[in-house]
Structure 1
Amino acid sequence: MGCSASSSLKDKKSETVMKAALKIQNWYRGYRVRLKARQCHALSIFQSIEYADEQGQLQLSNFFSFMLENYTQVCDKDPGLVTRLIGSTTQDYKNRLDCVGLIEVPDSYNGTRLQFPLTCTDLYLLIEAFKQQQILHAYYVLEVLFETKKVLKRMPNFTHVKTSPSKEITICGDLHGKLDDLFLIFYKNGLPSENNPYVFNGDFVDRGKNSIEILMILFVSFLVYPNNLHLNRGNHEDFMMNFRYGFTNEVLHKYKLHGKKILQILEDLYTWLPIGTIIDNEILVVHGGISKSTDLNLLHHVERNKMKSVLMPPVPLGEDHNTALGKKKVPQGVKTNESPSEQLTKREWEQVIDILWSDPRGRKGCYPNTSRGGGCYFGPDVTSQILNKYQLKMLIRSHECKPEGYEICHDGKVVTIFSASNYYEEGSNRGAYIRVGYGTAPRFYQYQVTGATCSRPLYHRVNIMESSAIRMLKERIISRKTDLINAFQLQDCNKSGKLSVGQWASSMEVVLGLNLPWRSLSLHLVTRDKDGNIDYMSSFQDIRIKSPVKEALSTLIETVYRYRSDLQIIFNVIDSDHSGLISMEEFRSMWKLFKSHYSIHIDDSQIDELANRMDLNKDGSIDFNEFLKAFNVVYKFDKLNKSDTKLT
């Protein structure tokens, strides 16, 4: 009897323990699911804003076309303005001796001294120097660029490589200036060599802080192993993209005296990068993707060096324009009847854009890439059609950040590989690379650079991601404050200052053009009353755009803030000597054309008055970068740092 009672008690305790364990397990699973949902929401914010910015960048190409269409009018006021906007600047440094010959490396320089022709020893020394955060002297940077361009010019548009079961090739995606990721790849996978070939699939630069170091490592590796390290052009190997996304500023900051030379040589070098790699005649590796009209036969013969920038599409001018131009120099990048070979045809240009910018989607067909504004979305049927047409088995591409560093879609025929970990924020995503060999399935290797976050729990990393994402979203919201208020008031028939969650969400989506879960995000962005209605003016609480002049109208402040990146790009092109100054007349001409093209309804007198006030020393010119920096977002207090910040 005693044994039976004891056994029964033990069974009850075991059952209780099991139930408790199951409850804890279920709670933890639910907790992980909620964290993952919050992480996905944060990633969707980052990606939506990133793609919206790229769409704005691509729309600048329409502005440059507009500049050409108004060429005569602009030339009357400033004959050199359009040439500076549209023309290539690489002409200044065609001669290598003129560019590098006068640069001396002082005895005091204690960094890496490269020996040409380069060897693997130079590569090792360079990597070690960069690990110590040393800056490579401009003399060696320019020599590497000239040597790289010389070799690239001999290469075809598509590099053909062969593998075997015993000699695989490693494919890396976007690095975006994240040097630690490149170091980690080399640590895990080995340095490039004759027996360890690599393909780097574009977007080496921008966003990260070590883009020039990544370029130097890749170019030196390429010069040491030209048959075993392959470089594809990405959509960020584009000097106009570099104006917006940080690489231009990085070079000018690190190489103040010779930065302009480096950027101008790179502008030309980009155009000679191959646009794809074909492995074993079976795998197509391109940065973006394909479209239903992709013609690999045409792309094999395109003069790729004429693709200066995605923002410089070919713009045929009619005879009346040519007559009006008279003997004036036509900017490079303009395809006229008199100079038919100056740039790619429209069809050729579009083919290259599709290769650099397109994204795969699950829906069948080929349709405009509404998120980025360039290239297309292509479905599984398009993938099968193009691969079958050219007897290929797989498309490997990059171009999109993926939480796990890679993604497989279109029935295994399309692989996305992204090699920059922590791309948006610490802990936001893993990086990855692929190894492929003849007759073997691709193998994926994931990693994540860890630093300060390595000991932080998942919930803390998610909170940091959320805080950063929400901050970016609030800045986007405040830049459209006037438009949003108008949209809210149209739906607020009772003038109560309140809207339903659905009304608020639809207004946000229409005005901002971001495909986000606004209903869920509303719990973090606005306040509600006891009935669940939203106080829509709370959308702008705790944040405002700083005005450099108190008297400036709010609509003007928002407009300049919203278009500040576009205006800065145009200014940087106009400011050919990088003096940082722009004349008042240039500013007025640029603004009037910009306002006209983008249908901005602001009186010229307002912007004139603002510019005059910014001309502090009254010398007829303004520091335009400082002008734009005066428009920045100010937070009254930052609730986003609280540890209990959550998204539903």
Structure 2
Amino acid sequence: MADAVSLKNKGNDAFKQKDWPGAIEYYTKAIELNEQEPSFFTNRAQANIKLEAYGYAIADASKAIEIDPNFAKAYYRRAVANTAILKHGDAIHDWKAVVRKNPADKVAKAQYEACQKMVKRDAFLKAIEIADAPSAAEGLDLESMVVEDTYDGVRLKDEMTQEFVNDMIERFKNGKKLHRKYVFQIILAVKNLVYEEATMVETIVAPEHKLTVCGDTHGQYFDLLEIFRLNGFPSEKHGYLFNGDFVDRGSWSTEIALLLYAYKMMYPKFFFLNRGNHETDDMNRMYGFEGECKAKYNERVFKLFSESFSALPLATLIGDKYLTLHGGLFSDDAITLDDIRKLNRHNQRQPGQAGLMMEMLWTDPQTMPGRGPSKRGVGLQFGPDVTKRFCEKNGLEAVIRSHEVRMEGYEVEHDGRCITVFSAPKYCDSTENKGAYINIESDYKLQFNKFDAVPHPDIKPMAYANNGMMSMM
């Protein structure tokens, strides 16, 4: 027991240093020495929550409850993890248990009440859901919308200009907003552009050209600008592919979305956007983007963004060599690139809990062969053998995906056939990770580049999330 406690303490030290993988390693070693101490499991659950491995956190908390059914912290951890993956119906039972065991805990009581509201909200939204709801653009008359003389920014006409983009970058750096007419104009233009693109966009890198692949940016606007500063701004010879999760968590999500959309307007054939699991309504309601849109602009802006997100392609094939998609591979070996090509994403606005779209947005690699349950509690995990078969069957060199923090900003796995790239350094101001991006030239060799986070104004992540529960994550 003394050795186990020593390992747990080392795990606590790693946790304080925000080294979540290191903390998990120590807690796991402690558990191997003593499997009957519930606090080892709840500590590991909290580290898994920090890594967004909510499925693992739920399993750890459940084990702690099995050992000690009266351990309130275990119910607390499981409630937080279930809330994070939007399983509010499961979370509410655990919050109730925490309140029952610790009736004086005001924080737990507030979380329980917030969860009750979310359960009611989810039921209400489901009840009023309309299959073919009218577009938020209906009745929006941009022609008659006046930009006041007092507006101090560059004017936008029919086409995006470098002058407008430069002004937008500076406005956002200084905490200013775009005029709402221009916000509507940009979102509508990009919605129409991406709607006409294939579910899997196919592109090549021409001689003397370069394509940069970026992973999650999650509302970290100043770190996005650092990518452009280090690597060059988009142009007709320097294309970019942003591989989903532009928004949520970080508190400059509207700024990132609008800047990426402006570049898509300016370079529609050289600037690409894949959908991520956070370009979805339920995640946007939980993790801040909906609240940010309403706070900085209005609800209609969020609804238009939502429509544009559902129109985004789900994958990009680069030079017939690299399939780039946000999450990863599939539950069925029979799936091919042709199945992605044939997928009509416009028939299903949100990814749901099963199916091809959900798997493209949510799955993760694992080190073990075969397939396994998701550490997130959503989707599944796929092993190196799954990746090898998929790449060989489809003539690919590798799959490039994002969706997960990597401490060095990227990781090459599965014998070089699965590459993760993540472009939000010091993620949520709480993880000491680097960011990364990948440059690809006409020889199709992958050039990995790492970068550090840069300072930003003192606005915390999740500043616009609509419930206090997020502070527990």
When normalised by structure 2's length, the TM-score is 0.72
Q: Is the 8 A contact 1:176 1:205 kept in 2?
A: yes
C-alpha displacement of 1:264: 1.2
Q: Per the alignment, in what secondary structure is the counterpart of residue 91 of structure 1?
A: coil
Deviations 1:56-91 (A, max 9, x none): 45554999xxxxxxxxxxxxxxxx946655336951
Give runs of aligned pairs for residues 330-409 of structure 1, distance below 5 A: 350-369=355-374, 371-409=375-413
Partner amino acid for 2:349? K
Partner amino acid for 1:40? D
What does residue 205 of structure 2 align with?
163
Q: 1 CA distance for matches of 2:16 and 2:207?
A: 40
Give runs of aligned pairs for residues 552-563 of structure 1, distance below 5 A: none
Give runs of aligned pairs for residues 242-641 of structure 1, distance below 5 A: 242-255=284-297, 259-293=298-332, 294-310=335-351, 312=352, 350-369=355-374, 371-425=375-429, 428-451=432-455
C-alpha displacement of 1:109: 1.8
Deviations 1:159-180 (A, max 9, x none): 1111146322100000000001
What does residue 48 of structure 1 align with?
49
Gaps of at least 5 residues in structure 2 are 1-9, 25-45, 55-79, 91-122
Q: 1 CA distance for matches of 2:397 and 2:410?
A: 18
Q: Is the 8 A contact 1:112 1:129 kept in 2?
A: no
Q: Does 1:125 align with 2:164?
A: no
Partner amino acid for 2:379? G
Mark the CA change 1:143 to 1:41 in structure 2 (over 3 Å): closer, same or farther. closer
Q: 1 CA distance for matches of 2:204 and 2:124?
A: 49
Q: Per the alignment, in what secondary structure is the counterpart of residue 53 of structure 2?
A: helix
Mark the CA change 1:54 to 1:140 in structure 2 (over 3 Å): closer, same or farther. farther
Mark the CA change 1:239 to 1:415 in structure 2 (over 3 Å): closer, same or farther. same
Q: 2 CA distance for matches of 1:36 and 1:61?
A: 27
Q: 1 CA distance for matches of 2:269 and 2:420?
A: 24
Give runs of aligned pairs for residues 32-111 of structure 1, distance below 5 A: 38-41=17-20, 45=46, 47-49=48-50, 50-52=52-54, 56=83, 58=85, 60=87, 81=124, 84-87=127-130, 91=134, 93-95=136-138, 97-98=139-140, 100=142, 103-111=145-153
Q: 1 CA distance for matches of 2:356 and 2:178?
A: 37
Mark the CA change 1:434 to 1:173 in structure 2 (over 3 Å): closer, same or farther. same
Supply the RMSD in Å over aligned alpha carbons.
3.2
Mark the CA change 1:441 to 1:47 in structure 2 (over 3 Å): closer, same or farther. farther
Q: Per the alignment, in what secondary structure is the counterpart of residue 353 of structure 1?
A: helix
Q: Per the alignment, in what secondary structure is the counterpart of residue 424 of structure 1?
A: helix
Within the candidate set 236, 247, 251, 1:194 is matched to 236
Q: 2 CA distance for matches of 1:365 and 1:159?
A: 28
Q: Per the alignment, in what secondary structure is the counterpart of residue 279 of structure 2?
A: coil
Q: Does 1:207 align with 2:249?
A: yes
Mark the CA change 1:302 to 1:133 in structure 2 (over 3 Å): closer, same or farther. same
C-alpha displacement of 1:450: 3.2
Deviations 1:205-236 (A, max 9, x none): 00011101111111110011001000000000
Q: 2 CA distance for matches of 1:397 and 1:88?
A: 31
Q: Per the alignment, in what secondary structure is the counterpart of residue 109 of structure 1?
A: coil
Query: Which structure has the greater CA radius of gyration?
Result: 1
C-alpha displacement of 1:94: 4.0
Deviations 1:115-146 (A, max 9, x none): 22112222222112222221111111011111
Partner amino acid for 2:362? W
Mark the CA change 1:633 to 1:142 in structure 2 (over 3 Å): closer, same or farther. closer
Mark the CA change 1:149 to 1:90 in structure 2 (over 3 Å): closer, same or farther. farther
Partner amino acid for 1:363? M
Partner amino acid for 1:206? D
Q: 2 CA distance for matches of 1:84 and 1:206?
A: 25
Q: 2 CA distance for matches of 1:285 and 1:302?
A: 16
Q: Is the 8 A contact 1:115 1:122 kept in 2?
A: no
Q: Per the alignment, in what secondary structure is the counterpart of residue 19 of structure 2?
A: helix
Partner amino acid for 1:160? E
Partner amino acid for 1:272? A
Partner amino acid for 2:292? E
Q: 1 CA distance for matches of 2:281 and 2:442?
A: 36
Q: 2 CA distance for matches of 1:301 and 1:261?
A: 31
Q: Does 1:138 align with 2:139?
A: no
When normalised by structure 1's length, the TM-score is 0.53
What does residue 642 of structure 1 align with?
none
Aligned residues: 375
Q: Is the 8 A contact 2:287 2:470 kept in 1?
A: no
Q: Is the 8 A contact 2:409 2:436 kept in 1?
A: yes
C-alpha displacement of 1:415: 0.8
Deviations 1:220-278 (A, max 9, x none): 100110010000000000011100001111111111xxx11111111211111000010
Q: Is the 8 A contact 1:93 1:99 kept in 2?
A: no
Q: 2 CA distance for matches of 1:452 and 1:106?
A: 30
Mark the CA change 1:452 to 1:288 in structure 2 (over 3 Å): closer, same or farther. closer
Q: 2 CA distance for matches of 1:296 and 1:253?
A: 41
Partner amino acid for 1:296? L
What does residue 339 of structure 1 align with?
none
Mark the CA change 1:238 to 1:46 in structure 2 (over 3 Å): closer, same or farther. farther
Q: Is the 8 A contact 1:158 1:300 kept in 2?
A: yes
C-alpha displacement of 1:98: 2.7
Mark the CA change 1:102 to 1:374 in structure 2 (over 3 Å): closer, same or farther. farther
Q: 1 CA distance for matches of 2:89 and 2:456?
A: 43
Q: 1 CA distance for matches of 2:125 and 2:456?
A: 48
Gaps of at least 5 residues in structure 1 are 1-30, 64-79, 314-348, 454-467, 469-567, 570-624, 635-648
Q: Per the alignment, in what secondary structure is the counterpart of residue 185 of structure 1?
A: helix
C-alpha displacement of 1:47: 4.5
Q: Is the 8 A contact 2:209 2:237 kept in 1?
A: yes
Q: Per the alignment, in what secondary structure is the counterpart of residue 93 of structure 1?
A: coil
Q: Is the 8 A contact 2:223 2:454 kept in 1?
A: no
Q: 2 CA distance for matches of 1:303 and 1:129?
A: 38
Q: Is the 8 A contact 1:59 1:373 kept in 2?
A: no
Mark the CA change 1:157 to 1:452 in structure 2 (over 3 Å): closer, same or farther. closer
Q: 1 CA distance for matches of 2:187 and 2:276?
A: 18
